[in-house]
Amino acid sequence: MPTFANPAFLLLLVLVPPTLWLWMRRPPAALRFSATQIVASLPPGRSRRARLWGIVLRGAGLLFLVVALAGPRWPDNSSRLPTEGIAIAMVVDVSASMNERDFFWDEKLLSRLDAVKRIFRMFVFGGAGPGGVRIEPRHNDLIGLVTFAAHPDTVCPLTLDYASLLQLLDSEEARTVAGEATTNPGDAIAWTVAMLQKAPTRHKIVIFLTDGESNVPPPALTPRQAAQLAGNLGIPVYAIEAGSESENPPDKDAAAKAQNSLEEIARISGGNHFQARDGRALAEAIAAIDKLERDRIESFQYRRYHEGFAVFAALALVSWLTLHTLEATRWRRLP
């Protein structure tokens, strides 16, 4: 798509119509002569056509000149500047419920945590997932990992060493505290936001994967409080509910509360909420996040442009030379 180096000159286009109007309004030249018989044999209508085409050529010349002054140019797509990466913190629930083997990945039954590990690898290294969902690999993004159950834990700080990051994720196992499953998303999000604040990139996001609601008492932060903190700092939270495939969970009230909590986290922080009941839905959710973030940071700055001012200047010159040549020959008139 063409751009202009000096777009302010385009304002001169408003002067083209009044300039042509003034030229049309100028009084015709006349000669004092005693007889008109010598011009009676001239073909009729030529003067009107010459005047009309004269207006067209003058207007075209003015238009081309103004566009040339504005400096039209087209980007060289092969010279696009590299984009600045973003900071991405993956927050993964490792409470005991994530160990339940009720998550279908294609035709294979996995635990919820194993499915999250697979989708995390797909998000980082790219590739095809269930249902043919494909994601391109990431290259310039700082990615970190925080896990949580009763308390958050920074498994890997923000890094470009993706292989080590995924190796640390693979070593994670679901855990319990005092024999009971506990989930503390509020402190996990707040902990992650604090980590992201130190990132050198301007854009930062949180991808939050869990299967349940907060069930830890104060002084732990509530998910709403953590989401407000993230929203105030301009860090969107993309909440993915990696729950059971069953459409009729045993505890419907708990499932509804978990869904409402994740929707609230996404809404307050400026992110999105996704439900993932199986591998394909999980892959589609992570692909939607991937596309949204890539579209947001795509660079439209280029090192080189193909300049077009000379072409339009030449067109203006051709228009006026054509006009003057015709007025000096075929459209010649007296006086």
**CATH 1.10.287.70: does it fit domain 87-297?**
no
Is pLDDT above 80 for 268?
yes
What is the rounded distance in angstroms from the CA atom of residue 3 to the CA atom of residue 210?
46
pTM higher than 0.75 for the full model? Answer: no
Q: What is the mean pLDDT of the chain?
A: 82
Mean pLDDT throughout 195-200? 89
7 Cα distance to chain centroid: 24
Is pLDDT above 50 for 297?
no
Is the Cβ–Cβ distance between 186 and 225 less than 8 Å? yes
Q: Where are the domains of the chain?
A: 3-29+43-78+303-328, 87-297
* pLDDT score at 328: 79
pLDDT tens-place string over residues 121-143? 999 988 888 878 888 888 778 89
What is the rounded distance in angstroms from the CA atom of residue 169 to the CA atom of residue 155?
8
Strands (E), the chain: 3-4, 72-75, 87-93, 103-105, 108-110, 127-128, 134-135, 142-148, 152-159, 204-210, 237-241, 273-275, 305-307
| Burial per residue of 25-56, b for 16 or more beta-carbon CB atoms within 10 angstroms, e otherwise | eeeeeeeeeeeeeeeeeeeeeeeeebeeebee
pLDDT band at 81 (very low <50, low <70, confident <90, very high): low
